[in-house]
Structure 1
Amino acid sequence: MQAYLFVHFREKTSPDGEQVYFGISKDGFQWEEVNKGRPLLWAYYGDKGVRDFTITRCKRSGKYYIFATDLSLAYGMRNQYHQSWNEISKKGSKCFSVWESEDLVNWTEQRLVKIGNEDFGCMWAPDIIYDREHGDYVLHWSSSHKENNFGWKGIYCSRTQNFEDFSAPQLLYRKEDSGVIDSAIYEEDGKYYMFLKSEDKPARIVLLKADHVHGPYSRVEEFDRSMEVLESGLYEAPTAVRLEDGKWCLFLDYYGVPGAGQGYVPFIADSLAEGKFVRSDQAFNFPYGFKHGTILTITMEDYERIKSYKWEEQ
C-alpha cells in the first residue's frame, strides 16, 4: 500500500508562509497536516523565503531532494523589488533553494544552487523528471530571458546525475503566442506529458505530449476540452500523481479569491494519454489553504515516520 507526501508553502503574508510545509495522505484525497501545520524547514539564505516546491528521490543515491524558488514576497516585495512583479521577473534570484535527506525527516540545511546567469530573469517553479532514455534527471523551470527582452516566459532545463553538477541551461519549450510557467512533466507508457500554465490564448492549464523529455511537444486537445469549464486565469501550479488504482490525480492551484480561500482543486483521469480530467472536489480535503507544491509517492513506513517524528523539537 502506498501513501503520499505533499511538499508546499502557505498563502500567508507573513514570512513563515514562504517556508517548507508537509502534508501526508493514505489515499491522495484526505490529507493531514504535519508539525501542527507549521514549517518544517526554513530558508535562511538568498531571499530568505521559498515557494513552488518539487521533491524527488535519486535512483542512484536513494536521497530525497527538495528544490524551490528562491523568493520571498513577505520581505522582498517590500524591499529589493519595490512592490513590482516586473522587477522580480527581471531581477529575481538565479538560484534554487535545495534541501536533501535520506529518510524524509532528517534534512540538511538549505543550500543555494546557481543555475542561471544574468541572461535569465527570476528562476521560477522548478520541477524534476527522470529521463530513462539518458539515465539522468531533467530539472526544468520557467524564466524570462534576455533573448526576447525579458518578455514572455519560456520553460528552460538543465540535466544532472547527482544534484550537485548541472549542465548549462537550455530552452525546453516556448509558446509563440504567450508566456508559459509552472511546468510539470510525467511519464506514462514511455511517453512524456507536460502540464503548463499558459498565460494567454488560452489563459488556462494546458497539457502537452512528447516521445522524449526534451520534446518536441504537441497539445493534447482532449485536455483542453476538460479545462473549458474552468474560469480563465484563476488556476496555476499543476501537479499530478498516479494513484494506487492506476488513475491520475491532477491538482490545480486555485487563486481566484484572496487569502486563505486559495488552495488546490483535484481532477481525476484514467490516463494522461486520454487527457479527460473530471473535477472531484467532494472527495478531497486538506486542513488549511496551501500553495504550489509537488506530491511524492511514499511507503506506509515513510508515512508513519513523518507523522510520528517530533518536528517541534528540532
Structure 2
Amino acid sequence: MSSAYLMAYFTSETHADGEQIRFAVSDPGNPLRWTPLADGAPILRSTVGEHGVRDPFLLWDDARSRYVILATDLRVHTDGNWHRAVRTGSRALVVWESPDLVNWSEPRLVTVAPDSAGNTWAPKAFRDPERGVWTVIWASALFDDHDDRTRGTHQRLLAADTTDFAEFTPARIYFDPGHDVIDATFIHEDQAWFRFSANAHAPGNPAHIGHHIYAERGTALEDPNYTAVAIDVGRPELERGEGPAVFQSADGTMSYLLIDEFNLRGYQLFELETARLDTGAWRHLPSAELPPGARHGSVIPIPLDRRDEMIRRFR
C-alpha cells in the first residue's frame, strides 16, 4: 500500500504537558493500528498565547506546498478554570507550518475572533475552490460590548477566510442555531458536503439526545440549509462524544470517524457501514489500537516515505 495516516492530537488537561501536540502514524493503509511518535511525548509545544494548545487540525496547502496545523490557544491545566476559558480566553489560534512534517516553523498566534468573543475553539480549515480561499471555522461565545460576562452565552460557529494562514478576513457568524454547537468538521464527497459537529440541539429535546455527534448534508460548505443525516452518531456505544474527526481512505472507498468520549475513553473509531455518507450508518470498531489518551485532533493520509521519515526523526 502506498500511503498511511497521520494523526495530530492532544491528551488531557490533567497533566502538565497534556495540552501540547502529539503525532501518531498508522500501519500502512490501516487506520486501526497506530504508533505514537516520540513514545507519545509532545512533538510541538506552544510558546505563545496561553502556552497550551488543544484540538489540532492538520491540512495540506497545495498552493503553497505546506502542511499546516491550526490549534486552539488554551491551557486549562494551570487553573482548571473553564469559567475563565469561555469568557476571557484567547481570541486567537495557534499556527504551525512545515514542508515535510518533520521540520516545523515556530508557533505563531493569529487573532481571528472579534473583541466580543470569549473564546476561539477547535479551528478547522476547508478549501473553497470557487473563491480560491481557505475558510476557517471555529466556535466562540459572543458577548455584548458592555456585558460583564458573569453569565455565559452559547457557543456558535464563526468563520473567516485566508490564503496564507497569516492574514484573515473579519470574522462572520457561520452558524448560530441558538444553542451550543462546537467542533464542526466537514468532508466533501461527490457533489455534497457533510458536516459533523457536537450540537446540543434545541432545548426541550429528550435528555439522551444531543450528547453525541450530529451529522448533516449540504450542497456547499456555506449552504445555510444543511439537513440531518444522523442525529446522535456514537450512541449507544459511547456515553458522550465531541471532537469528531472524519477522514477517508486514500482510494476513497472507506470512510472513518473518530469521536472523543471526553473524560472517559478518549478517541473511539467508527467505520461507515456502507459506501454512502448520507446513510449515517457508522459501526464502532472497539478493537482499534489508537494512541493512548488521544483526544480531539485530526487525521490525514500521508505518503509512506513521509511516515517512515517521521518515525526515524521522532523516535
Residues 206, 219 of structure 1: 8 Å contact kept: no
2:311 to 286, 302, 307: 307
Residues 226, 278 of structure 1: 8 Å contact kept: no
- Structure 1 equivalent of residue 183 of structure 2: 182
Is 2:258 the partner of 1:251?
Answer: yes
Is 2:64 the partner of 1:61?
Answer: yes
- The letter for the 2-side match of 1:236 is E
Q: How far does residue 99 in structure 1 lie from its aligned partner after superposition?
A: 0.7
- Structure 1 equivalent of residue 15 of structure 2: 14
- Structure 2 equivalent of residue 31 of structure 1: 34
Following the alignment from structure 1 to structure 2, what is the Cα–Cα distance between the partners of residues 113 and 91? 16
Residues 220, 275 of structure 1: 8 Å contact kept: no
- Structure 2 equivalent of residue 205 of structure 1: 213
CA offsets, 1:243-272, max 9 Å, x none?
145111001001253xxxx32111111332
Following the alignment from structure 1 to structure 2, what is the Cα–Cα distance between the partners of residues 276 and 32? 28
Secondary structure of residue in 1 paired with 2:32: coil
1:224 to 225, 231, 234: 231
Q: How far does residue 14 in structure 1 lie from its aligned partner after superposition?
A: 2.5
Is 2:152 the partner of 1:146?
Answer: no
- Structure 1 equivalent of residue 267 of structure 2: 264
Following the alignment from structure 2 to structure 1, what is the Cα–Cα distance between the partners of residues 238 and 36? 29
- Structure 1 equivalent of residue 246 of structure 2: 240
Gapped regions of structure 1 (runs ≥ 5): none
What's the C-alpha RMSD, in Å, of the aligned pairs?
A: 1.9
CA offsets, 1:97-130, max 9 Å, x none?
1111000000011110111122111100011111
Secondary structure of residue in 2 paired with 1:108: coil
**Aligned pair in 2 of structure 1 residues 305, 125: CA closer, same or farther (>3 Å)?**
same
How many residue pairs match? The answer is: 297
Q: How far does residue 297 in structure 1 lie from its aligned partner after superposition?
A: 1.1
- Structure 2 equivalent of residue 44 of structure 1: 47
1:278 to 260, 278, 283: 283
Normalised by the length of structure 2, the TM-score is 0.89
- The letter for the 2-side match of 1:250 is L
- The letter for the 2-side match of 1:154 is R
Secondary structure of residue in 2 paired with 1:74: coil
Residues 214, 233 of structure 2: 8 Å contact kept: no
Residues 10, 296 of structure 2: 8 Å contact kept: yes
Following the alignment from structure 1 to structure 2, what is the Cα–Cα distance between the partners of residues 191 and 287? 31
Secondary structure of residue in 2 paired with 1:273: helix
Following the alignment from structure 2 to structure 1, what is the Cα–Cα distance between the partners of residues 217 and 41? 37
Moved more, 241-250 or 108-117: 241-250
- The letter for the 2-side match of 1:68 is A
* Aligned structure 1 segments of 4 or more residues deviating by more than 6 angstroms: none
Moved more, 244-253 or 47-56: 244-253
**Aligned pair in 2 of structure 1 residues 154, 252: CA closer, same or farther (>3 Å)?**
same
Following the alignment from structure 1 to structure 2, what is the Cα–Cα distance between the partners of residues 235 and 247? 22
**Aligned pair in 2 of structure 1 residues 90, 225: CA closer, same or farther (>3 Å)?**
closer
Gapped regions of structure 2 (runs ≥ 5): none
- Structure 2 equivalent of residue 167 of structure 1: 169
Query: Hey, which of these two has a bigger chunk of strand by percent?
Result: 2
Moved more, 292-301 or 130-139: 130-139
Following the alignment from structure 1 to structure 2, what is the Cα–Cα distance between the partners of residues 205 and 307? 32
Residues 30, 285 of structure 1: 8 Å contact kept: yes
- The letter for the 2-side match of 1:114 is T
- The letter for the 2-side match of 1:161 is T
1:113 to 89, 110, 114: 110
- Structure 1 equivalent of residue 296 of structure 2: 292
Following the alignment from structure 1 to structure 2, what is the Cα–Cα distance between the partners of residues 45 and 90? 19
Following the alignment from structure 1 to structure 2, what is the Cα–Cα distance between the partners of residues 35 and 236? 26
Q: How far does residue 54 in structure 1 lie from its aligned partner after superposition?
A: 0.2
Q: How far does residue 16 in structure 1 lie from its aligned partner after superposition?
A: 1.1
Q: How far does residue 51 in structure 1 lie from its aligned partner after superposition?
A: 0.4
Residues 210, 217 of structure 1: 8 Å contact kept: yes
**Aligned pair in 2 of structure 1 residues 302, 37: CA closer, same or farther (>3 Å)?**
same
- The letter for the 2-side match of 1:254 is E
Secondary structure of residue in 1 paired with 2:278: coil
Query: Hey, which of these two has a bigger chunk of helix by percent?
Result: 1
**Aligned pair in 2 of structure 1 residues 226, 53: CA closer, same or farther (>3 Å)?**
closer
Normalised by the length of structure 1, the TM-score is 0.89
